[in-house]
Chains A and B, each alone.
Chain A
């Protein structure tokens, strides 16, 4: 079986590229959302996708959470899915954050809107760092105000072997808002990613 795990060099390189992408995203988001955005340096870890539901069970136990998924395709066989998790307490702040002043926007729509903004802004930055470009599928609401979102996450995580887990915390001056983002990358795409990282490393 092919080894999907990263070398220390590859991991450091990816961490650095993600940090840069985060910085780009944080700058763009701050200008778009008209508020100072502080993006904490994310914790990055490669984990077995099957372990993720259990990790989140501990972290989100008993909380009503909403889960939004967004898939992406890049060149060179790179593809994956991002999952954003929101705690319900934050959902009400999103309308103000997005500048929606009409009542016609549903909570599900606000969640998909903010998710596509957060995800694509970060992924575009990452694609740029990897000398790639991504195309995106429309975001889907996997679970909304759901206590049992873990079992839905289990069904989703089942399709993926290895997951790159990125925990992002967004801190906004005028709003207290945070969410978790998980980036899931399937096995063969992880191999492509390793090749891409090796190329980046070779250029240094």
Chain B
């Protein structure tokens, strides 16, 4: 059975793009799939340099690749995952895809005319927009999941798990580059009583509002997390002790002078803050312990104040226990 008639209609109706170039990278043939999408006529582009017709194509890279196909007589490939498209062509999902151009997979094949021995390179172009769209959506939801996984559901600050991971990272960085690093631990004063007097909803509102207020006082690089119930912690990278104490005092003052409104009532609240500074002799856990100890001392001293860790605190704590 003779099937010589097949290739003509197949090229006409093929749901992939076919571009045939000669050794000078001039256009010999383009099938209707490409002509229609690029809005060009085969007769008007035949014999023209491919890059004079598709002016946006990555010329330096693509011509190097096409020349590798010709000189090595080996196929080459381009995948949408590495290069989203070679040619700016529209796709058929203009509504559901945010991306303007068709994502493309391309096979570049060496071909030889059996009659003349003339060598050509053929580009087969497939629409990979669907895969591209699915992958983008997947990445988007992964990103969202990752974010949710890092944040505290109530206050929107970092959750304890992620905050502690970040502390390890920052401690390593500070140790490696000899940068200062400080830590603040703070606790809402008499939070239990607030819950008892006004209800847990009021307590939640106070947590949310205080976290929002403190967040607005911090730099982009500071890492603010919820450590437990009403206990919060802030990593201050590149900050020596004096700077950290200043931030802590500002937090203390602003919280005390900013009442939280809950059901037409103005709830007054305050925080006690413990401050510690990293040095290469201590671990992340010890840094937390020191800030926690200072916080404990701030509570004992009468709340609504800042205490900085110093080794003497350990002795005073021992006295309390005995």
Please tell me if B79 contacts chain A, counting CB pairs below 8 Å: yes
A104 and B82 form a contact (CB under 8 A):
no
B77 and A32 form a contact (CB under 8 A):
no
CA distance A31 to B71 in the complex (A): 9
Please, which residues of chain A bring their CB within 8 A of the CB of B78? 138
Q: Report which of A28, A98, A136, A140 forms a contact with B64, defined as CB distance below 8 A.
A: A98
A136 and B83 form a contact (CB under 8 A):
no
B64 and A138 form a contact (CB under 8 A):
no
Question: Within residues 90 to 122 of chain A, which ones have a CB less than 8 A from any CB in chain B?
Answer: 98-102, 104-106, 108-109, 112-113, 116-117, 120-121
CA distance A136 to B105 in the complex (A): 14
Please tell me if B65 contacts chain A, counting CB pairs below 8 Å: yes
Which A residue's beta carbon lies closest to that of B107?
A: A138
Q: Closest Cβ of chain B: how far from A74's Cβ, in Å? A: 14
B76 and A121 form a contact (CB under 8 A):
no
Chain B proximity mask over A108-152: 1 for CB below 8 Å, otherwise 0: 110011001100110010000000000010111100000000000
Q: Report which of B58, B72, B105 forms a contact with A138, defined as CB distance below 8 A.
A: B105
Q: A32-B68, A138-B107 are in contact. Are A117 and B74 (CB under 8 A)?
A: yes
Q: A99-B64, A100-B64 are in contact. Are A116 and B77 (CB under 8 A)?
A: yes
Chain B proximity mask over A76-99: 1 for CB below 8 Å, otherwise 0: 000000000000000000000011
Please, which residues of chain B bring their CB within 8 A of the CB of A102? 58, 60-61
A117 and B72 form a contact (CB under 8 A):
yes
Q: Closest Cβ of chain B: how far from A105's Cβ, in Å? A: 6
Please tell me if B73 contacts chain A, counting CB pairs below 8 Å: yes
Please, which residues of chain A bring their CB within 8 A of the CB of B72? 28-29, 32, 117, 120-121, 124
B77 and A139 form a contact (CB under 8 A):
yes
Q: Report which of A32, A101, A117 forms a contact with B60, defined as CB distance below 8 A.
A: A101
A109 and B74 form a contact (CB under 8 A):
no
Kindly state the interface size class of chain B when it binds its partner: 20 to 34
Q: Closest Cβ of chain A: how far from B123's Cβ, in Å? A: 13
CA distance A102 to B59 in the complex (A): 10
Chain A proximity mask over B63-92: 1 for CB below 8 Å, otherwise 0: 011001001111111110111000000000
B83 and A109 form a contact (CB under 8 A):
yes
CA distance A108 to B61 in the complex (A): 14
Q: Closest Cβ of chain B: how far from A93's Cβ, in Å? A: 16
Chain B proximity mask over A161-194: 1 for CB below 8 Å, otherwise 0: 0000000000000000000000000000000000
A104 and B58 form a contact (CB under 8 A):
yes
Question: Within residues 23 to 82 of chain B, which ones have a CB less than 8 A from any CB in chain A?
Answer: 58, 60-61, 64-65, 68, 71-79, 81-82
A113 and B74 form a contact (CB under 8 A):
no
Q: Report which of B60, B81, B83 forms a contact with A100, defined as CB distance below 8 A.
A: B60
CA distance A136 to B74 in the complex (A): 10
B64 and A124 form a contact (CB under 8 A):
no
CA distance A32 to B61 in the complex (A): 15
Q: Report which of B61, B64, B82, B105 forms a contact with A112, defined as CB distance below 8 A.
A: B82
A138 and B77 form a contact (CB under 8 A):
yes
Q: Closest Cβ of chain B: how far from A103's Cβ, in Å? A: 11
The listed residue with most A CB atoms (<10 A of its CB), out of B74, B82, B105, is B74
Q: Closest Cβ of chain B: how far from A175's Cβ, in Å? A: 16
B73 and A124 form a contact (CB under 8 A):
yes
Q: Closest Cβ of chain A: how far from B192's Cβ, in Å? A: 47
Q: Closest Cβ of chain A: how far from B131's Cβ, in Å? A: 13
Please, which residues of chain B bring their CB within 8 A of the CB of A101? 60
Q: Closest Cβ of chain B: how far from A4's Cβ, in Å? A: 29
CA distance A88 to B278 in the complex (A): 35
Q: A32-B71, A100-B60 are in contact. Are A109 and B77 (CB under 8 A)?
A: no
Closest CB pairs A-B (n = 9): A120-B74, A138-B77, A109-B82, A102-B60, A32-B71, A108-B82, A121-B74, A121-B72, A28-B72
Q: Could you list 8 A-B pairs, sorted by A, with CB under 8 Å?
A: A32-B72, A100-B60, A100-B64, A102-B60, A105-B61, A108-B81, A112-B77, A117-B76
| Interface contacts beyond A105-B61, A138-B105: sample of 6 additional A-B pairs, CB < 8 Å, sorted by A | A106-B83, A138-B77, A138-B78, A138-B79, A139-B77, A141-B81
Residues of chain A whose beta carbon lies under 8 Å from any beta carbon of chain B: 28-29, 31-32, 98-102, 104-106, 108-109, 112-113, 116-117, 120-121, 124, 136, 138-141
